[in-house]
Amino acid sequence: MERTSITNAKAKQWVDEQVALCQPDAVYVCDGSQAEYDRLMKELVDSGLGTPLKARKNSVLFRSDPSDVARVEDRTYIASQKEEDAGPTNHWINPDELKKTLSGLSAGCMKGRTMYVIPFSMGPVGSDIGKNGIEITDSAYVVCNMHIMTRVGTKVLDLINQSGKFIPCLHSVGKPLASGEKDLGVWPCAPMDKKYIAHFPEERAIWSFGSGYGGNALLGKKCLALRIASVLARDEGWLAEHMLILKLTNPEGKVKYVTGAFPSACGKTNLAMLIPTIPGWKVETIGDDIAWMKFGADGRLYAINPEAGFFGVAPGTNNESNKNAMESAKENTIFTNCGLTEDGDIWWEGIGYPAKGTLIDWKGNKKPAPAKDKSPKGEEIAHANARFTAPAKQCPCIAAEWEDPKGVPISAFLFGGRRPSTIPLVHQSRDWNHGVFLGSIVGSEVTAAVISDQVGQVRRDPFAMLPFCGYNMGDYFQHWLDLGKQSTADNLPKIFYVNWFRKDADGNFIWPGYGDNSRVLAWIFDRCDGKDNAVETEIGLMPKDGAINTQGLNVSPAAVKEILSVDREGWKKEIKDIREKHYPKFGAKLPPELAAELDKLEKRLG
């Protein structure tokens, strides 16, 4: 097809170069229309890759190859010119060497396929905080997901044609087709050793090969919105963070916006769509995963959600844990690696109800429905990282201003992880540098959302950015410290550390979590308003007795006291672990301010 809609010389040249390299049978420039989405989805269904869901309007289920089910961290690279610029937490390959490898793999990689050219905007189209990209892909599944997750279409292409500014993103499933060959319903991807998710930070470019799944293939998501955007943010003086954005309204009608960074499987999406259990409070969603923040003229940080949809983990999502997510995915949704019921609906472990009759699991095998809403280990119906891709506008609690191009002013940052001991329910940093210290020591359990042999172990995940920071994490810490000098303490967001996952001696969660986390958010809201509801402790500011509303909670006063007290011995072990195992990773790049915060904490604990 003609590429007449691409008139910018730089963009046209880049697309032409990829056409020459990948050798597709056809080239199609996406317009972002509903007709385009419907046509491509029908092609996917007709080819046997997608299964329409009779029980859900305009919704389709896909099953990926068992080798292509999640982010592949050990195949994800930051190809900076210097290895030290990638840092100790990233995989590095020399950019020239990596381009040579990828060029060899990509030569003719789209034979037998259509090359789709996707002009997309991260953030509301035209926002000063947003960025534009062009993703080239040979996957119609990727196009349809990008339709939901970003703003795709001619308006974006018009901006790119005018400015010539875009992030180039090249993707291929890595499975060319011989003449007359079809996929025949088999998920196309390359073997694991041929998968590459490559980022070139100096060039602001992304090149992904061999995977058709999730963040490996939807290049606006983690690749652009975090790994490349974090480099842009460092160079341009803003923040690109793995954070939800919430709008909180108190009973008096006062509004505040907060962001929160939580590693995988720590209730981040649940918190983003929380239904409060305390009367008079309202919680609404601006974003569930990523926040881009820039300083406004008033010295405050303003945030946008650069995404347009939710790419949520399905297992464990139910009407109790996240009713709003369930409502968001009722129609117009793409499901991947979920189970299929006899009546044409999806099913997964933890959905909140048992299925009937026979199910088809995520590998396409027929199985009797489990008696409950969970399956024996190793016999799961849905993959642990099964996903739903749903439009954010369908969320019942989406805030009216979620697409405001100016963004929303942020009053607080929340950090948190899944920790059964030591870390209290909530504490506030003493100042900005102490808050950056808290972000730098976040730790949580490894989950099935990544392919790893460390599932179940606790690891440090600073700022929940460990897999997503596009440069040296020591320099990233310094960027946060430097940002604190760009504004006043009054204008900067307050910083808090929360932990919903404390356990008692019997291994049971002490805090009920879910909607009851609104009780902690209410305390944080009041702290941002300057309310005198905190006491100073060795680890930071903590709620005064009675400052957290526990009315109607089935938690004993002794248990509340336990999760709102300082575990001195636990913190001493924490300091030892940070000092011996965590901070040394960053070597000379560790900012001295953070080492000083660790020393001060140790001194306060005695």
Contact 462, 380 (CB under 8 A): no
Report how far residue 324's alpha carbon sits from residue 566's, in angstroms, rounded to the nearest whole number. Answer: 34
Report how far residue 544's alpha carbon sits from residue 426's, in angstroms, rounded to the nearest whole number. Answer: 11
| AA letter at 315 | P
Strand stretches in 472-574, DSSP E: 494-498, 534-536, 541-543
Alpha-helix residue ranges (DSSP H) falling in 515-591: 518-528, 557-563, 568-577
Q: What is the DSSP string of 24-46?
A: -SEEEE----HHHHHHHHHHHHH
Q: In 10 A of CB 391, how many CB atoms?
A: 18
Encoded tokens for 364: 């396409």
Report how far residue 75's alpha carbon sits from residue 213's, in angstroms, rounded to the nearest whole number. Answer: 13
Encoded tokens for 384: 């642990």
528 is catalytic: no
Q: How far is CA 430 from CA 62, 247, 485, 534, 539, in A?
A: 48, 24, 16, 11, 8
244-249 and 339-340: which strand pairing? unpaired
What does the DSSP 8-state code read for residue 351?
Answer: S
Q: How far is CA 566 from CA 219, 251, 329, 499, in A?
A: 42, 31, 41, 13
Report how far residue 333's alpha carbon sits from residue 296's, in angstroms, rounded to the nearest whole number. Answer: 35
Q: Could you say which of 169, 266, 395, 397 is catalytic?
A: 266
Contact 245, 252 (CB under 8 A): no
- The H or E element containing residue 433 is helix 432-440
Q: In 10 A of CB 99, how many CB atoms?
A: 18
**Bridge partners of 118?**
135
- The H or E element containing residue 235 is helix 229-236
Q: In 10 A of CB 4, how many CB atoms?
A: 8
- The H or E element containing residue 482 is helix 473-483
Report how far residue 58's alpha carbon sits from residue 426's, in angstroms, rounded to the nearest whole number. Answer: 42
Report how far residue 104's alpha carbon sits from residue 117's, in angstroms, rounded to the nearest whole number. Answer: 21
Contact 485, 412 (CB under 8 A): no
Q: What is the DSSP string of 116-134?
A: EEEEEEESSTT-SS-EEEE
Catalytic residue set: 266
